[in-house]
Amino acid sequence: MIYLMLLILIITIGLFVWGKFTPDIVALISMLSLYLTGILTPTETLSGFSNPTVIMIAALFIIGEGIAQTGWTALAGKKFVEWAGKSVPKLLVIITLGAGVLSGFVSNTGTVATLMPLTISSAWSIGTLPSKMLMPVAFGSNTGGLLTLTGTPPNIIASNALVEAGFDGFSFFEFALIGIPLLLVALLYFRYIGYKLLPSNKTNNKPVNIESTLYNWIEAYKVHDGYYRLRVRSISPLINTKLEAWHFEKDYNVSIIRIKRRHPNVLKGIAQFEEFPVPSTDLLYHDIITVKGDAKDINKLMITFRLGLLPLEPITTDELKHNLINQEVGMAEVIVNPNSILVGRKYKVGDYFKRYGIQLLAASRNNKPLLEKEITVKVGDAFLIRGTWAHIEDLKEQNENLVIIGSPEGMAKNVESLSPKSYIALGALILMIIFMVFKIVPGSIAALISAGVVLLTGCVPISKAYKGISWTSVVMIAAMIPMGIALQKTGTAQLIASALVDYLGAIHPILLLGGVFLLTTTFSQVINNSATAVLMAPIAILAATSLNLSPEPFMIIVAISASTAFLTPIGTTTNAMVMTAGGYKFMNYLKVGAPLLLLFFIISLILVPIIWPF
C-alpha cells in the first residue's frame, strides 16, 4: 500500500510539473486514483469538499470582491502607486511588506484575497506585469504568518503540541522573534534577486484605466463644454420648490444633471446627492446644481433665480469626473446598431430615461461631437450615457441592438471614491479579524458571517460574488486535501519521518533540527501545511525529549518549515490563488522559491538555536 501511495504521489507531482492539464483537473485525477485503488473510502475521498478551509477560502474571495467593488482596492492601489512613484522595485517592497504585516493578523488566504486585486491593478498602473508582483504577495503572506501565534495554523498547532506534552506554549508575539528576520530576508530577496527570476507573463486581467478612459470620453464628446455648477443662494426663489415647477429645459434651454445637498439629513430622507433629478425632486437652500447649457442661457438662469456660480469658469475634467462618476453611478459609451428601435427618434442631451435608468450626457456622429440640444438618432451614432453601474450592466445584457463599449464592471472596480457600502465592506473584514483574533467563532464561520454581511448589504451582488470566486483554486485545494489523509493513513509519512529523525538525531542537534526542517518543508510542498504540522509536531517533540533537548526550537522549526511551501503551487492555498492570475507554471514556483527556501533554511538554523536554546 505504501508503494502504491508513493506512485500516485509521484504521478500527481509529475502531472503538475508537466502542465498539460489545469491544476484542478490534476487534483481531481489524484483524488479519484486514491479511491479507485482502495486507499481511501468514499467519505475520505470527498472530505475536502466539506472541509472548513475550502469553505473559508470561497468566503474570503467574496470578502475580497466586496473590498474591490466598494473602492478600497482602487484607493489602496492608487496610494501604493503614489508611494512607489515610477519605481517597480519600490512597489514590489511595499506590496510584499503589506502582505507580510497583514497576514500576521488576518489569515494568509484572507490577505491574498484582499491584496490580489489591488496588486494586479497597481502592477498594470506602474508599467509592469502582475506576474512580477503576485508571487511575492503569496510568499510574503506565508512568511508574515510567522509574526503572531494566530498568523497561521501551524503556529497554533506547534504551541498546542507543546502544552499537551507538558511544556509551556508560545506567547502571542513570540514567533515575531524569527518572523521579522525572515520577512526582512524575503523583502531583500525579492528586491534584488527574486524579481529577476519572476516570469513576465502577459495575462488578460488588465484593469480598465478609468482616468484615461474618462479623459478620452470627455475630450471626444466635448462633455466639458457647457457644464457649470450653480449654488442655490438664500435669496433664490427655487428654495423649497420642485424641479417640475420651473421648466428649465423648455424656458431656459438648460439641463439639470446632478444635485449635491450641502445639508443632507438622513432622518428627513435627504440624501447627499440626487444623481438623477426628476420633476418631483425638491430644491433646497445651498444645493450645488450641475447643469449643462450655453453660457448666455446659464447667465440668464443665474440672474433670474439668483444663483451663484462655482467656480467662475466651467468645471475642469477632473472635477467633472468626480461629479459624474462614483461607486454607485458610472458612465459608458453606446453605439447604435441598424436594427435599434432608437433610430429616427429624437432625444435631448441631459434627458433621464426611467425605463432604462440612464441619462444621455452627450452624442457623437462620424467621430465628431453633436453639440445641438436635440438629436435625431441615426445608425452608428455614439452616445455617452450615465446611470447606476447595475443599470448599465442591465442595458448591456437586454439590448442586442446597442453595443456597450468597454467594461462597465471593470470600471466600477477602479473608482477610488468611497461610499457607505465601502465602510460596510471594510467593517465586515474587520469583524472577521476580530472573530479570528479572539477566537469567538471558528475561522470558517467568521469568514462566512463576514461574506454574508457583504452580500446581504449589497456591497457585492450575488451574481458578481460567484464570479469573483476562483473556482479553479477552490476545486484544486478541495481535491488535494485527501492526499494528506492518504499519506498519514497508509503510514508513508510516518515511516519516512521516523527513519530520518532517528538517523540524524544521533549525530548532532543542529543536524536533527535541519532534518526536521527539510522533512517538514518537503511534506508542505504537496500537502496542507496544517496537516504537515500535525504530522511532524509529535515526531519532533519525541525526538527532542529522547535526547534530553528542549522541544521549543524544534517546534519553532516545524512552524517555520510548514510555512515554506515555496516550490509548488499546491503547497499552500495562497500559492494556488495567485497561479491563474499570474499565469504561473509549476516550474516558476520551483525557480523562484528554491533560493528563498535555502535562505530560510540557513537563517533558521543560525537564529533558532540562539533564540530558543537546546
31 in Cβ contact with 15 (< 8 Å):
no
| Distance from chain centroid for Cα 612 | 37
Q: Provide mean pLDDT across the span 505-521.
A: 83
| 209/212 Cα distance (integer angstroms) | 6
As a whole number of Å, the CA-based R_g of the chain is: 30
Dump pLDDT digits (tens) for 185-218.
999 999 999 888 988 887 765 655 566 677 677 7
533 in Cβ contact with 20 (< 8 Å):
no
Average pLDDT, the chain: 81
Q: Hey, what CATH topology would domain 330-412 get?
A: Alpha-Beta Plaits (3.30.70)
Q: What is the pLDDT of residue 506?
A: 62
| 486/9 Cα distance (integer angstroms) | 10
- Single-letter amino acid code for the residue at 524: S
Residues 6+ apart with CB under 8 A from 16: 23, 26, 568, 569, 570, 586
What percent of the chain lies above the pLDDT cut of 70? 87
Q: What residue ranges in 238-396 does DSSP mark as E strands?
A: 241-242, 255-260, 273-274, 282-283, 288-292, 307-310, 329-336, 346-348, 352-353, 358-365, 368-370, 374-376, 382-388
- CB environment 558-570: b (16+ within 10 A), e (fewer): bbbbbbbbbbbbb
Question: What would the grid cell of residue 300 be?
Answer: 440668464
Phi/psi of residue 155, nearest 5 degrees? -60, -45
Dump pLDDT digits (tens) for 402-427.
777 766 665 655 565 677 888 998 89
Statement: residue 315 has pLDDT above 60: no
Domain with CATH 3.30.70.1450 in the chain: 225-315, 330-412
Least confident window among 13-22, 201-210, 276-285, 566-575: 201-210
Domain 225-315 coded CATH 3.20.20.110: no
Most confident among 147-151, 207-211, 422-426, 528-532 (mean pLDDT): 422-426
Tracing cell 502531472 back to the chain, one arrives at 15
Question: What angle is formed at CA 499 by the lines to CA 498 and CA 501, rounded to 5 degrees?
Answer: 65
Least confident window among 12-16, 165-169, 239-243, 374-378: 12-16
Statement: residue 53 has pLDDT above 90: no
Statement: residue 470 has pLDDT above 60: yes
Statement: residue 603 has pLDDT above 90: yes
